[in-house]
Amino acid sequence: LAQYGIAFEAHAKNLTLIHRQGWPEKIVLRDIHENTLYGKDFLSSEMRVAKPHIVDPFINDDATNNSYTVENIKYLRDFFMSSTYVYNLSDLSFRLEKNHAYAETFFWQMIKEKLSDYQNSGVTETADINRINTSDETITVESILQKKIKNGSTRENYKHQVSNTLASSQQTGIRAAQ
């Protein structure tokens, strides 16, 4: 999302955690062709020239005729963060604490450190990273249960706000304190 301006949503069964000697290093998302969004004004210059459909041919070249294009970077951020952080990594952090005595606070501190390392790496412009604003106090997530309870149609959206563990105001432990 930060480097190319494309947001992917992958459910936990399609998220693979790559680790080295037990320490997470990368996340690989798969089976995402139906859940890909981008903002034309946020696409990297190379993607604006190349067109997003080269990343995944499923994306129609004329994106104005489908629902892959969004206008609001906050929507892209929430779309990605709700899937990756709220639904996938929070489940992983919970299971690590429950089954392996690895405190969630240390897990989220590590995530913050990795995001900081990425920002300092120079791979992506700091201005683009800042536009995403991963440290907002809340993240908007889809309320799937509420939609089912209210028997909502596929066109109805039910949403609510959740606290963002990555927010500056959220205190997470330091690994050295462990």
Please provide the size of the chain in residues: 178
What is the pTM (predicted TM-score) of this model?
A: 0.71
**Per-residue pLDDT reduced to its tens digit, 124-155:** 889 888 888 888 888 888 777 777 788 766 66
Tell me which DSSP letter residue 38 carries. Answer: E
- How do residues 81-116 score in pLDDT, each as one tens digit? 888 888 788 888 898 899 999 999 999 998 889 889
Measure CA of the first residue to CA of the last residue in the chain; give whole Å: 32
- Kind of pairing, strands 6-8 and 15-20? unpaired
